[in-house]
């Protein structure tokens, strides 16, 4: 995993603050491939139950991470049991690395 310890903490804390402590966050896509250099941060937030205004909350998490880690390209997906899934969601759930 190419995230620094600090980045990991910032991400986990941001998610926890906005989505609550029971949400889990996974890193997926380019950053998990050791061969690739740099790249965007792609995150999946898995919540135990449906979340109201999840788009806004996700945007808040992204903003919080950017403020602390500097502006980077951060893509965040959010899901919960029963939520509609795109192929990207499915892949992220399956292959994402728990932070």
Partner 1 sequence: MNASGKLAEAKNRFLATLEIVRRELVVLKYSHGRLFASDIDPSWVEHLETNMDDAEKLEAFVSRFGRTQDTIGDKLIPRALSALAEKTSNVLGNLNRAERLGWLASVDSWLVARDLRNRLVHEYMIDANQFAEDVVSADRQLGSMQPRRRCAFGHIQPQPATGWDAKIWRRVEIRGDITIQVWGVPTTNSVAATLE
Beta-carbon contacts of residue 61 (< 8 Å; ≥ 6 apart):
14, 15, 18, 19, 45, 76
Residue 93 interacting with partner 1 (CB under 8 A): no
Nearer to partner 1, 31 or 62 (CB): 62
Residue spans of beta strands (DSSP E) within the chain? 24-28, 41-46, 74-79, 97-98
Residues 29-58 that bind partner 1 (CB under 8 A): 53-56, 58
Nearer to partner 1, 35 or 40 (CB): 40
Tokens at 61, concatenated: 């998490």
Binding residues for partner 1, per CB under 8 A? Answer: 53-56, 58-60, 62-64, 66-67, 70-71, 74, 77, 83-86, 88-89
């Amino acid at each position: 995993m190419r995230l620094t310890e600090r980045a990991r903490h910032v991400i986990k804390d941001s998610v926890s603050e906005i989505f609550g402590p029971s949400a889990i966050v996974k890193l997926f896509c380019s950053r998990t491939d050791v061969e690739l250099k740099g790249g965007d941060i792609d995150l999946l937030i898995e919540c135990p139950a449906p979340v109201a205004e999840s788009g806004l909350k996700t945007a808040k998490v992204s903003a919080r991470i950017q403020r602390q880690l500097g502006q980077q390209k951060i893509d965040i997906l959010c899901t919960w049991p029963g939520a509609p899934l795109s192929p990207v969601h499915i892949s992220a759930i399956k292959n994402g690395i728990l932070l």
